Chain A
Amino acid sequence: MTWSDETDRFLGSWKDGIGCYVYPTKRFKTVTIYAAWIRDLSPSDRALGALLPAVLKRGTQRWPNRVLMEQQLEGLYGASFRADVGKLGDKQLLSFHVSVVNGQFLPGRPDTVGQALDFLTEVLERPHLVGGSFPQDIVEQEKTLVKRQISALINDKGQYAFSRLIELVAEGQRFGLKKLGTAEEVDRVTAPGLVDFLGQVRDESPFVFVVVGDVDPHAIQNHVANRWSGAKKPLTTIEPYHGKHHNQTVVEAQDVRQGKLNLAYRTGLTGKDADYPALVMYSGVLGAFSHSKLFINVREKASLAYYAYSRIDPALALMIIGAGIEFQDYEAARGIIEEQVDAMRQGHISDEEMSFTLKGYINDILSEEDNPGQIIGRQLEHLLIGGGLSGPALIEALKAVSTDDVVRVAQQVELDTVYFLTAEGDGQHGA
């Protein structure tokens, strides 16, 4: 199970709108397979995109209902299977994910990987149709569930505040669109409409297939080449944010016990830019770790929050700062946060902060290699940004970043929008 520089990396490429990438390695006991159709998020068909994976996981020609599909997975030594819709920047990903224990670690050495590939292929290629259409009752059941998921977005307050902030920043641009669509859009979806949409997706949407585990890359590439082909639309990358709000502040009230303060900053840099490693170091010193300025000053020194972080979006050229605070501490917490961002601009950065941050990132980057899901996520991100560094190359680039580089980047980071979710009634604050 040792590491090998010969094999432990992605092999593969895009061809005619299909990307097949295999990461052969003996480090894992499981094999993880990920497939996705990649679409531009659009109000006209995002609800169809949200429903298609949901309907495809309800039955295939060989296993026409959920019980039979689940039993097949259970018999495959508890293979896990997910079909759902994801979002990265302004892209909607119709995603399918199977993970299975490699047969060499099981009694009788069954070919679990081959069966998992067949299962996923069956789901994508041979859906259970009745009279050429998805069964009406199944479509209606999944519509109800997606609508429920849409209204459940208010349940997680941290996530809710974050997505409200992104909506406010985007102000109509595609990356502000929700991946599930609206209840009205879902209502308009019909069973025949979904079949047409499936045809359209198969014909034109770029398709990516990624495998991590102890597999033969040629066998996987042949499997993909034999089943999926055709000239689809070329893959386009995510459009970064260029808008210009100036300190837009929005305060909203709900029945909550803790206020959620979120701030969005324009960074002007995406993952493929030469200065991106300097931005990574910037965010690390500011708020990615427990030694970072935000955690130390907002939580440890002022005891104003349980959490306070910054994170950068490598696709949208945005940085988000978030904190959970008492309602009446809004001014104080915002003040301390903006002071830290200012301190970065003015170069108040110690050698210790730089070295802790570098070591923290090295740990994160190397640890990523132990997690198949993260390895796949990173590859997907690179494809959709159109470049970017990872692994040892990213570590080298971070090592080369100087404090001056960080300050230079800090000076181009600008506050765009602030969103504060507070309590109704007495706890409420004007802005």
Chain B
Amino acid sequence: MGRNQTTWEQLGELPVRETLDSGLEVVVLPKSGLKKTYATYATHYGSIDSHFIRPDTGEQVDVPDGIAHFLEHKMYEKPEGRDVFERFAELGAYTNAYTEYTSTTFLFSATSEIPDCLDTLMRLVEEPHFTPENVEKEKGIIEQEIRMYLDMPGDRVRSNLMHALYQKNPVRLDIAGSVESIRTITPENLYVCYNTFYHPSNMVMFVAGDVEPGRIIDHVATVEKARHLAPSGRIGRIFPVEPAEVQKKRVEQIMPVAAPLWLMGYKDLTVGLTGADLLRHDIIRGMMWSLILGPASKLYNDLYQSGLISERFYAHYTSAATYGLSMLGGETPDPEKLEAVLLERLPQEPFKPEDLERLKKKEIGEFVSLFENLEDLAYAFNAFHFRGIDLALIPELLHRITVDDLEQARREHLKESARAVSVVLPPREGGAAHAATSH
């Protein structure tokens, strides 16, 4: 307990945080002058948490793929038959939710009636209502959502790459699951997941806007007190051991695209870090890619000038506690040539101290502008929170990164056995028009 301001003063940002008796952590960032208040209520529970130990019974549970996303949809339905979208509409607020590999986030954005909006957000997350009828009905809607993604080449190329890179970790599966897997979801398994993961001690609420933090926290605390919840036990999350080798070196899919979409991934073999160690690990790998293949790099510009990539080409690193990976790619007329040039040059591009110093300026600039966009800020805050990271550490960690750190990361990370490639190809002229996947 106890409210304290973090060391964010240098940034001109003064968040107030408090952990309530139920275990819920509430963080409020006052942003005077903004019209909008943006609030998220997020659980550390995503698509990869499909195998776990219930803290209440100690029982091991396996649930269908895609259930976290299904649960997110279903939270909007309430017993009175009037869903939460309507209640937010009545308040003139916008609401949405999204599910990722390791978290599920519910949000609102509003310009008035903030206490009522907070109450509605809490009701949204805290009152499950699943019946056989409403679960059946949702299957039609989610099936359409899944089919929409199946027509998106960018989504397919990523999904196929995850299937290729990983043999065991459920991060290899699509977040929404498959049309087949969601058909097996029942109200019973939704309740098991809800009761396990939507406990306040597994969640965080983040509010930013022109608000008075003390009032917001008192308001939330009053509502939470009435639930008479105490912190829950630790949730056992069971993840298979991921082998160092990839599942498949290469996956191809034919789709009606104009030019090939090419994506290469490196699975990170260093996992299990948290807090400042994980943040440093992330920053180093991210900067490694910016220097080798960012828009200001020689390699990027050579590829651009030779017509092998467009401005939409990207290379980045992403991680959570149980996985980490780099992805690089984009549209290209010649996937084989692009891959060959990259494999030859990625290990060789020099890291120069002056380039590193300039890149640090860019990173600092991006860090400062993060605080201007409440959506991005809340997203980053939640992602870091569930990994035990304090955002405010970024400038200090950035400052200490050296060229040697980057060289070491390159040696560790760019391993041939942990590399896979995914390609979406246009139909061959005169060939079959229908898509087929090779996995």
Contact = CB atoms under 8 A, between A and B. Distances in A.
Given A145-B310, A370-B35, A362 B141 contact: no
B34 A67 contact: no
Interface string A49-76: 0000000000000000111001101111
Interface in B400-433: 427, 433
B300 to A, nearest CB: 8
Interface residues of A, number: 71
Nearest to B364: A77
Given A29-B372, A256-B256, A303 B140 contact: yes
Contacts, number: 185
Interface string B121-157: 0000000000000000100111011011011111000
A326 B150 CA distance: 13
Nearest to A292: B89
Contacts of A226: none
B232 interface: no
B257 interface: yes
Interface of A: 1-3, 26-30, 65-67, 70-71, 73-79, 100-101, 105-107, 137, 141, 144-145, 148-149, 151-157, 254-258, 289-291, 299-300, 303-307, 324-326, 352, 355-356, 358-360, 362-364, 366-367, 369-371, 424
Interface string B55-97: 0000000000000000000000000000101100111111100
B307 A144 contact: yes
A324 to B, nearest CB: 5
Interface in B292-322: 294-298, 301, 304-305, 307, 310-311
B434 A255 contact: yes
B184 interface: no
B366 A151 contact: no
A258 B144 contact: yes
A1 B35 CA distance: 12
A299 B141 contact: yes
B279 to A, nearest CB: 19
B301 A65 contact: yes
A367 B209 CA distance: 11
B141 A366 contact: no
B3 interface: no
B353 to A, nearest CB: 14
A305 B195 CA distance: 30
B174 interface: no
A26 B257 contact: no
9 contacts: A3-B35, A66-B304, A67-B296, A71-B358, A75-B358, A100-B365, A145-B311, A306-B144, A356-B86
A355 B364 CA distance: 44
A71 B434 CA distance: 44
Nearest to B259: A148
B361 A291 contact: no
A103 B89 CA distance: 40
Contacts of A28: 372
A290 B89 contact: yes
Contacts of A101: 365, 368-369
Contacts of B366: 78
Nearest to A289: B89
A367 B35 contact: yes
A75 B257 contact: no
A47 to B, nearest CB: 17
A421 to B, nearest CB: 10
A356 B152 CA distance: 33
Given A324-B148, A363-B93, 16 more contacts: A1-B31, A66-B304, A74-B361, A77-B364, A78-B365, A153-B258, A156-B152, A257-B148, A307-B148, A324-B144, A324-B147, A325-B144, A326-B147, A362-B111, A363-B92, A363-B109
Nearest to A369: B35
A75 B148 contact: no
A359 B295 contact: no
Contact of B433 (A29, A148, A255): A255
Given A29-B372, A156-B152, A67 B362 contact: no
A155 B153 contact: yes
Given A2-B32, A141-B305, A363 B296 contact: no
